[in-house]
Amino acid sequence: MKVALTVNDFLRRAELVYPDRVAVVDEPDQPAESWGSIDYREMARRARAMAAGLDELGIGVGERVAMVSHNSARLLTALFGVSGSGRVLVPINFRLVAAEVRYIVEHSGARILLVDPELADALADVDCERKLIIGAESDAVLMKFDTEPVPWEADEDATATINYTSGTTARPKGVQLTHRNVWINATTFGWHMGVSDRDVYLHTLPQFHCNGWGMLYAVSAMGGRHVIIRKIDGHEILRRVEEQGVTLICGAPAVLNAVLDAAAELTADGKEVPGRDRVRIVVAGAPPPTKTIERTEVELGWEFVQIYGLTETAPLITINRNREEFDDLSPFDRAQKLSRAGAPSFGTTMAVDDEGEILARSNTVMEGYWEQPEQTEAAIRDGFFHTGDGGTIDDDQYVVISDRKKDVIISGGENVSSIEVEDAIFQHPDVTEVAVIGIPDEKWGELVTALVVTTPGSDLNEAGLIAHAKGLLAGYKCPKRVEFRDELARTATGKLQKFKLREPFWSDTTRQIN
């Protein structure tokens, strides 16, 4: 017997086994009316109502529904109500500017666009066949409780979500994740993290970010409680850890740094840090310094777990979690062990090619890039997904990331295409040459830095160029630092030699990523 693996399995089990248990504690300070606390019976009812609303609007199976939203109970439910009814959810990064959102809506062919009320003015000029402001307006149109949705003939190879990610092109690519990709990633991730019905999961990770890395599905299947936080603040995270009994968190290194800073302030005031010996925090996006990992154990008393992956791999392909062999090590030595990207997740094969690029073979690897077959063929070939990251596999079979072979900067856990940033900067009339690189930064991991040559006599300064970029790009993509140069290192054929431009900034480090 073969039964299709779909996102419906996760919420269906929660409704069956834990109907009266609190499923979601929504952010109380939502610009749309907060859903407050709802149980799994009600969450499933609202997911079905959303599917029925899409039926009434004539949105067919396989058609796209785009949603630009901060973390919310509505977005969490849409991951089931939209995908679970055979449509394709396109969760869009809420940090993007209007031009970037417009491109994604048009490229994906979305028929509906749902917009966070806080972003309504900024995205006023982004058109779609049907555009709704999330809250009372979207609820009135989409939430149809008086009728059952049309049953979907489940297909595990159907696309569940299209997640746009920056990479090696000037435009983001739409990663097609199938129900099978999502299902296997979530169950594998949940297994490795020991997710149970006693877990309370705090959504510090943006839900748009590869569907919250898939952890939100795993938590739902086991009847865990979701606690929604809309905006990241170290003290607010610690407050909710204490009030809600949080046991599990996922986030970028910048989130962990915010928590460590807030905890240091509590300790200085003679107060206890909540969650000691209870919280597991999963970090990905960039390998944090060994000192940060050690501080997590010593100052917070939380368990540090590192994973590695990409949106294209749904994302989990390696995991590094404390093991029995590390128990007798000092916190510093244990942190050094945990600083590696990790061993292959269950069901994944890792390899390194002759050029030092890390490769992965897994059931979690995407179907492909939406309407970009050439990009897909370049990424998936010879039976492996090519990550674009350079590194090694050590004697313990742990992956160690040492370099980034593709033109991507990871800042604050977000991918930034250096090509996309260069393209925006080039649009300034005073710029004749530009190279965008990432340089080490303690807070953000890597700092987006522009090396610029201007026209003779130009009075363009750093503030002016950054302001120009902010008119075209999301804030996190814009250069935080600009250096003006007389010339940029190039090959005899005129190609930028970025490794030479990067070298002075990375000379004191042992690896070329941070």
pLDDT digit of tens for each residue in the chain (514 aa)? 999 999 999 999 999 999 999 999 999 999 999 999 999 999 999 999 999 999 999 999 999 999 999 999 999 999 999 999 999 999 999 999 999 999 999 999 999 999 999 999 999 999 999 999 999 999 999 999 999 999 999 999 999 999 998 766 668 899 999 999 999 999 999 999 999 999 999 999 999 999 999 999 999 999 999 999 999 999 999 999 999 999 999 998 889 989 999 999 999 999 999 999 999 999 997 777 788 899 999 999 999 999 999 999 999 999 999 999 999 999 999 999 999 999 999 999 999 999 889 999 999 999 999 999 999 999 999 999 999 888 889 999 999 887 766 677 888 878 787 778 887 897 898 997 888 888 888 888 889 999 998 988 999 999 999 999 998 899 999 999 999 998 887 655 455 677 788 888 887 776 666 6
What distances in angstroms separate CA 336 from CA 13, 304, 430, one per listed residue? 39, 12, 46
Question: What pLDDT score does 494 carry?
Answer: 55
**Residue 85: φ, ψ to 5°:** -110, 15
Domains of the chain: 408-506 (3.30.300.30)
CB 113 within 8 A of CB 126: yes
Quick count: other Cβ atoms within 10 Å of Cβ 395? 5
Phi, psi for residue 81 in degrees, rounded to 5? -65, -35
What is the pLDDT at residue 409? 83
Tokens of 476: 């996190």
Pair of tokens at residue 362: 């897994």
Reported as a single tens digit per residue, the pLDDT across 451-501 is: 998 988 999 999 999 999 998 899 999 999 999 998 887 655 455 677 788
pLDDT for the residue numbered 290: 86
How far is it, in rounded angstroms, from Cα 188 to Cα 221?
12
Rounded Cα distance between 389 and 354, Å, is 13
What separation in angstroms does the CA of 155 have from each of 88, 188, 373, 434, 475? 13, 20, 22, 47, 38
DSSP 8-state assignment for residue 422: H
Going by the DSSP 8-state scheme, the letter that residue 496 receives in this structure is: B
pTM here is 0.86
Q: What pairs with residue 203 in β-bridges?
A: 228
Residues 6+ apart with CB under 8 A from 441: 411, 447, 514
Contacts of 69 (CB under 8 A, 6+ apart): 75, 91, 94, 114, 115, 116, 134, 207, 208
- Please tell me the predicted confidence (pLDDT) of residue 513: 67
Give the burial class of 351: count Cβ atoms within 10 A of its Cβ; 0-12 exposed, 13-18 middle, 19 or more buried. middle
Which of 284, 190, 197, 262 has its CA nearest to residue 14? 197
Within 13 Å of residue 140, how many CA atoms lie on the same side as its CB? 8
Write out the H or E segment, with its range, that includes residue 60.
Answer: none
Which tokens go with 467? 């302001």
Whose CA is closest to 113, among 151, 142, 155? 142
- The DSSP output letter for 436 is E
3-state secondary structure of 445: strand
pLDDT tens readout for residues 259-286: 999 999 999 999 999 999 999 999 997 7
Residues in the chain: 514
- pLDDT given at position 424: 87
CA torsion 366-371-372-376 (nearest 10°) is 20
The helix/strand/coil state of 183 is helix
The radius of gyration computed from the CA coordinates of the chain, to the nearest angstrom, equals 23
- Answer whether 49's CB lies under 8 Å from 35's CB: no
Q: Name which of 384, 412, 393, 401 is nearest 352 in CA terms.
A: 393
CB 112 within 8 A of CB 87: no
Residues 6+ apart with CB under 8 A from 358: 350, 351, 352, 387, 389, 390, 391, 399, 401
**Residue 374, φ and ψ in degrees, nearest 5:** -65, -40
Amino acid in position 142: L
State how far Cα 417 lies from the chain centre.
Answer: 15
Sequential DSSP letters for 84-151: GGT-EEEEE-TTS-HHHHHHHHHHHT-SEEEE-GGGTTTTTT---SEEEETTHHHHHHH--TTSPPPP
What is the rounded CA–CA span in Å between residue 363 and residue 180?
Answer: 8
Segments of 151-199 assigned E as strands: 159-165, 173-178
